[in-house]
Structure 1
């Protein structure tokens, strides 16, 4: 298993030897969920880190590597379906990338599909708004503290995606409604404000009572009623007794 220290050492050696790094790392892989990897990697399902083959480490060592290492992972059949992720280690079989199942669903792929992986640099996040699918998540003892701990398994946040948080034997899904300062950000060693939107299963507020049209509240005498009106000298007293702002049926 290759660590980040190995990667950085490889890059340093490459630069010291006068190597000319390529512009970017871009490689396609056959994608499988974490369940197909060694059991020691199953914990990656609660996060966004993936596992790549050792050849990826060799290729990255020939390029400028900026820590933290972040990647854009996209559906090769539909490149518009993409997310961002980190990497945990380089022990996968050659040509294979092990990816969390929830992330695969976000980009619309299943086991065996091809993905394109490209290294990227993302700005540090400052704000995230999350919307739990299930209100049970907000009823946990301290959902903010739980979320803070679980987000340590994540490298990035992508607006419009749905992340998975595993806690106490349950998997909670949360929609990423908004992120700042960009639509995709790094949350590694970042001071991020987290806001919760109302859960998706929360009952909607009842519609407000209809407000009657103001014209319905103005009384206008009919022809017969006009004939019953007192003389002009007493009309002001007559109207004051009727009272303004009432419906005709309330007279």
Structure 2
């Protein structure tokens, strides 16, 4: 008889299948756990960890969540084992997908899922297109998730806003794990998105600013002169903003009511001659008067 120091027949993992009362993360005692709300993992009681260890469950621990009343199914991972006995705490978006209320019974079963290779998401609002790099934002948000299930409506938070994404497709199966995987991501057209209508020539002509078509201001314009330096050097062109000139009032011209179709009129503007003021008396000569003295001449 030979004895070996290792087990030639490793123990086959046994399934974990238990029902718990589910609650949202906001009902978890203690401080606010926003890290649970943003991801796709749940909090289970310590007894579940002890049972999972004895059942020789494979890592990472992945679970199938089932609402037997409605038949809704999703998949998730576990974050901590600190919940009260008989209770589990779920993110609000996960409870919404499963159509669960506070305190409803939830069936939890251990599963083994294939590694994801492809997934396609559909934003539920066109606002998601305003993000500069949507793929980078989604990649960062999915770090808090362990699984993806086709048909789920997940929620991600970015810049103090929550964006909902529908999982339209996953490969190689309807439920996949995204832990340490190389996954290709595609986006479908967001819900409510409308293609912008092409601009016509009329729209381009109307896009001209009417202020550019106004005539140049006539008459006196304040601060229109040029400046000179005291040392005689030339002034450098500055990038500072120019003085704001008062807008001249636009005077609309009088239309030609006698215009006939098919005729052209070339109006030449003739500058009026400058009128020279003439004195009334052209024979006037200055300093032609006589002088007088207060002292009499001898």
Contact 2:13 2:58 in 1 (8 A): no
Aligned equivalent of 2:126? 135
- Tell me which moved more, 102-111 or 39-48: 39-48
Find the aligned partners of 1:107 and 1:56 in 2 and give their Cα distance: 21
Q: CA deviation at 1:139?
A: 1.2
SS at match of 1:31: strand
Q: Give the Cα–Cα distance (whole angstroms) in 1 for the partners of residues 10 and 113 of structure 2.
A: 25
Alignment of 1:200 onto 2:195: no
| Distance of 2:90 and 2:52 partners within structure 1 | 19
Distance 2:84 2:52 in 1: 17
Q: What is the 5 A alignment of 1:177-192?
A: 177-192=168-183
Whole-angstrom CA distance in 1 between matches of 2:79 and 2:14: 23
Match of 1:154 in 2: 145
Equivalent residue of 2:23, what SS? Answer: strand
Larger Rg: 2
**Whole-Å Cα distance in 2 between the matches of residues 142 and 42 of structure 1?**
23
**Residue aligning to 1:56:** 48
- Partner of residue 253, structure 2: none
Q: Cα distance 1:101–1:67, how it changes in 2: closer, same or farther (>3 A)?
A: same
Q: TM-score, normalised by structure 2?
A: 0.60
Kept in 1, the 8 Å contact 2:26–2:32? The answer is: no
Give the SS at the match of 1:138: helix
State how far apart, in whole Å, the 2-side matches of 1:117 and 1:56 are.
Answer: 10
Q: Residue by residue, what CA displacement relative to the aligned partner does 1:87-128 show, whole Å, maximum 9, x if unpaired? A: 000000010000001001111111111100000000000000
Higher relative contact order (CA 8 A, sep 6+): 1
Specify the alignment match of 1:113 in structure 2. Answer: 104
Task: Tell me, in whole angstroms, the C-alpha distance in 2 between the residues paired with 1:95 and 1:42.
Answer: 22
Q: Distance in 2 between matches of 1:133 and 1:93?
A: 35
- Counting matched residue pairs gives 190
So what's the TM-score if we normalise by structure 1? 0.71
- Specify the alignment match of 1:45 in structure 2: 37
Q: 1:97 is paired with a residue of what secondary structure?
A: strand
Q: d(CA) in 1 for partners of 2:31 and 2:173?
A: 35
Q: 1:77 aligns with which of 69, 82, 85?
A: 69
Distance 1:182 1:19, change over 3 A: closer
Residue aligning to 1:29: 20
- Name whichever structure is richer in helix by fraction: 1
Runs of 5+ unmatched residues, structure 2: 1-5, 198-298
Q: Which runs of 4+ in 1 moved over 3 A?
A: 18-22
SS of 2:126's partner is coil
Kindly state the Cα deviation for residue 76 of structure 1 after the two structures are TM-superposed: 3.0
Shift of 1:203: 2.1
Using the alignment, how far apart are the partners of 2:47 and 2:11 within structure 1?
A: 18
**Separation of aligned partners in 2, 1:68 and 1:138:** 34
Name the SS of the counterpart of 2:101 in structure 1: coil
| Counterpart-to-counterpart distance in 2, 1:173 and 1:150 | 12
Aligned partner of 2:93 in structure 1 is 102
Structure 1: unaligned runs, 5 residues or longer: 1-14, 207-251
- Helix, strand or coil: the match of 1:109? coil
Question: Does the Cα contact within 8 Å between 1:20 and 1:62 map onto a contact in 2?
Answer: no
Task: Please give the secondary structure, in 2, of the residue aligned with 1:91.
Answer: coil
